[in-house]
Structure 1
């Protein structure tokens, strides 16, 4: 490999971008937990998607970015909206009410394994033995981090486990679809449109629910929604789409294992949760897994 072709700088941008994305996504977990005292969780999910999508489309128009103009692009964006936002948000938000955070974290972070397998089967991305070891080590780290929550909790609801597995699988499918159109559609319009389209089924679900007590006009709730929508959703979605052009999907998905680590940190910050020895061990395993996958030999980039 050439040293003067900008590769090291590109790799550094991928590391920074992927890490920032996981940090911003992890920031949403304590915000979602706090928001439950103000409004039903599906209403929060819907408002988060609508505000984030509207912000991205407004910004894209301001910058005069090219609007998607092919039937193929809108077909892909509709499918991504269904899997990433409609089903993904539905599964993750509902699961958070039915099962323990530890078990939800473990199941959610099977998404990189599912996406890596789909990328191998559909995108023909070659995953070497070293990357497979990295996935195994990263997932082991997640299990170790969440072990106390899993084994000390009450018997878990089968429906809650089903919700989170469906959500994780849907996000994995959307990542494969994103990879296929990443170089053909403007990042801001792509993410904005998929969030708005994906919010429609969520809004229908909210309207079909029984009358609810809502404190939407509370300024604290409005701030929570804005934080979840803009830095917590719009920005990381845009960065993630941009990263799809820069690195193989299996390599990017390993960074998803960082989300529960950041979640533990925010748990300490917001809820005074402390890390046990086992959790620190899990953190070390996850940190070890990321460079192990990133330097995997035999990969091809275009």
Structure 2
């Protein structure tokens, strides 16, 4: 995993964990579904406004639209909706611990529904994770925790697992900020009816409510969701879910510091066990050369994520060693690109392949921007990249100035031979069609 992905994962875990504390404050002063509907409307408006400023459009692929709808319903309406309602009766720390079981549920779904074989490490991680939750919940129930709140959080975590498996299709195809905004509006539309039917407009207007609501809209609402889409697009849903093992730790600590929620020895032990179990499951799901079958997400033509099983032979084929010249495409996307001096130039966004010859013609490289916003993408000749095992990325003699000074691309640049000739000449690369 590259440094950028690691930073994105840590940032996501911290922002996502803090949402439970801000939500607990919001529902203390306002009806939960109404507050959440307004949050989604505000977050969606902010995200779409940013998308329009970045000249993004709502012309999405079919896979993106499916991801927008499923993610908007499962994560926003069901997951967050149930958590907001539940936090009227349970603490933010408990809600964050239950939500953190999402990677365990992903593995459990793979085992029960998808007939995925579990390695001993994965099975042990599942057992440890749920055992840690049981330790915490038993201690809390002895103190009189609300069982309905626990049940709502459990259903919410299951919905989040489904959303995670569906998000991959929405993370590719461009217009990322527009995707974030639209799935917020889907959540608002889904929650608006129950909010109007079940709740009355009784709000205690205070400065803690204003601060918590604003924070929830901008940080967990827009920024964390954007980071999650970018992270899943870079490293896949299963690897990205690894960072959820930090959520019980961050969630409990933030709730203890800001809300003064009690943290006993049993809670601390349970959090450590849950985090260890989640981490064990994610490590076990990563393919390793020579370790036998391991599950990895693979994107279907329709954009949905399934889990396939690789053999030890396939795992050794698809590593980065110098003993062979083959590599899986999912190991290329997101890989860093370095210049002659070893400085980072950008990263590989995706590859372009000639359908007739099967040759890789271009690597579309992303550079600049922040968390995927404002990032520029340029197709560069594949021949200008060489993999450097010491750097763990591709080395090129192309400079950022050359990227910015490349020939302007027509809308269908991949069909314009004159543009291709000018581009290959600009970078000093041999024509792939000769």
TM category (shorter chain) comes to 0.7 to 0.9
Shift of 1:32: 1.9
Structure 1, 102-111 or 49-58: larger mean CA deviation: 102-111
Structure 1 segment 84-163 matched on structure 2, within 5 A: 84-99=75-90, 104-118=95-109, 128-154=119-145, 156-157=147-148, 160-163=149-152
2:48 is aligned to 57
Match of 2:196 among 194, 207, 228: 207
Secondary structure (helix, strand or coil) at the match of 2:273 reads helix
> What is the alpha-carbon distance in structure 1 between the residues aligned to residue 138 and residue 211 of structure 2?
33
| C-alpha distance after superposition, 1:61-81 (max 9, x if no partner) | 212235333444323312221
In the alignment of these two chains, the number of paired residues is 290
Would you tell me which structure has more helix in proportion to its own residues? 1
Runs of 5+ unmatched residues, structure 1? 1-7
Structure 1, 53-62 or 121-130: larger mean CA deviation: 121-130
1:48 is aligned to 39
Shift of 1:199: 0.6
Runs of 5+ unmatched residues, structure 2? 289-293, 297-327, 331-434
Q: 1:137 to 1:18 in 2, by over 3 A?
A: farther
Would you tell me which structure has more strand in proportion to its own residues? 2
User: 2:74, 2:162 within 8 Å by CA — same for their partners in 1?
Assistant: yes
Q: 1:16 to 1:283 in 2, by over 3 A?
A: farther
* Higher RCO, 1 vs 2 (CA within 8 Å, ≥6 residues apart): 1
Larger Rg: 2
Shift of 1:288: 4.0
| C-alpha distance after superposition, 1:144-190 (max 9, x if no partner) | 45542233225623xx3442233222211111110233223432111
> What is the alpha-carbon distance in structure 1 between the residues aligned to residue 85 and residue 146 of structure 2?
17
Shift of 1:126: 8.1
Shift of 1:105: 4.5
1:179 has 2:168 as partner: yes
Q: 1:211 to 1:246 in 2, by over 3 A?
A: closer
Q: 1:102 to 1:211 in 2, by over 3 A?
A: closer
Structure 1, 118-127 or 45-54: larger mean CA deviation: 118-127
1:29 has 2:9 as partner: no
1:227 has 2:218 as partner: no
Q: Tell me the C-alpha RMSD between the 2 structures.
A: 3.1
Provide TM-score, normalisation by structure 1: 0.80
